[in-house]
Amino acid sequence: MRFCARSYSTLVIEPYGLRPCCDGKQAVYPLPYVPYAGGDLTDAFLREYFPEINRQMDANPLLCAGCRSVRNKAVSEEESRPPQGCLRRILINPHRALCNAKCVYCDFWKESHPVYPVAPVVHALMDSAYVSPQCVFNWGGGEAVLLPDFAQTCAAIQERGYPQEVITNSIRYSPAVAHMLADGMGIVRTSLNCSSADLFIKIMGVDKFDAVIENVKRYLDAAKTRDSVEVKYIILEENNAFAEIDAFLELCARIGVTKMGFSFELEANYRNEVTEQSLRCAARMRLQAARLGIACGHRHAQENHITAIETFMACEKH
């Protein structure tokens, strides 16, 4: 039987269904999902959801083809039943098309779908026997802070003691996010992707560079620890010049960023089509960040990309 090792530990809430994995991978291979469009997520529903995901994968070898989390193994009746406390990561993404930017690397903002209230979903999950006490709630996008019930739901998660990850473009400042950071109950990750207003407009599609810089600084000042505010750089054809990498890192140092990350355009990454120039930019970014005392890690990079980056780093050092 084809079995997903993550199907019991991760739950992704999308506009029209539930998945065990990020919807972004859909660009490369189809993913299993169970239809869902809001309302309480009862334990009875989840009991049916977990085995259904693996039944779909076993019936259709094209689902999740090539994913390292999928195993061919015999699954006992006991293993087929999800254990209590199994969910350790919940991604809240029913607002995929709700965004105040028009990024060149994202198509979600071009879509149109109804956005259902997230508060009932999250409250039901926090009361679920399947959610671990150590579960992390991740706010993806679209742009979560635009949700009418974001602030109250973010506060409710915080009050229950669950950590949160808020993926935000920081165009709009959120007092609820600042409060979460001040209490040390989560992290914020903002993809800035450039060092100037002109390039920001080209990549993000809106003239909000100054607002983003100001809001990132406000989050940094509010945070209990500054490394809970991470600035990210998605390396694209539009921004993979060495001079731009250097200017971006100097900007990060100037506004007090202590932690940053980089990734590649999603489809190019999963299809192993990242260019040599982009890999060299990643190597330069890691070296320059170390020189400036900024922690720099990668997100979702393939093993061969990591090897190439380390090779380029070694060459540049000499």
pLDDT tens-digit series, residues 176-227:
999 999 999 999 999 999 999 999 999 999 999 999 999 999 999 999 999 9
Integer Cα distance of 303 and 26 in angstroms: 20
Select from 3.10.530, 3.30.1380, 1.20.5, 3.80.30 the CATH code of 169-317: 3.80.30
Which strand (E) or helix (H) includes residue 232?
strand 229-235
Series of mean pLDDT values for 10-residue runs along the chain (318 residues): 85 92 63 88 92 89 82 76 92 93 85 88 96 97 94 98 98 98 98 98 98 99 98 96 98 98 87 91 97 93 90 85
Residue 40 has a pLDDT of: 79
Cα–Cα nearest to 258, from 284, 299, 219: 219
Domain ranges of the chain: 1-167, 169-317
- Tokens found for residue 279: 């890999």
Residues contacting 87, CB < 8 A, separation 6+: 8, 9, 10, 11, 125, 128, 130, 131, 132, 135
Rg of the chain, C-alpha, whole Å: 20
